[in-house]
Amino acid sequence: MSTTPSGAGDRLVQVGAIVFFIGALATLVTVAPLFLGTDPFPSVAYAVCMLMGLGFLIAAAGVVRSVWKSSPKRAAVR
């Protein structure tokens, strides 16, 4: 068990990573029929691939929040 306190954006980074990997898996599944010569998936399947970008944005927001909360100017105010 870790005794380190959780940072301000740690949860956002974790959720962003999960969403990113779901989007990456969806991208692999969606692109596979193009290589296998089968019928492509409907357009909705391609929309699920956008989760990869959304996960990246969520994780980036977590990093920005962590940096914002631990900046020297904000630490001096506390």
33-64 pLDDT tens trace: 889 989 988 888 888 999 999 999 999 999 99
Tokens of 60: 């980036």
Instruction: Give the number of C-alpha atoms closer than 13 A to the C-alpha of residue 67, restricted to the C-beta side.
Output: 7
2-43 pLDDT tens trace: 555 678 789 999 999 999 999 999 999 999 988 998 998 888
Q: Tell me the C-alpha distance between 23 and 52, whole Å.
A: 4
Q: What is the pTM of this model?
A: 0.78
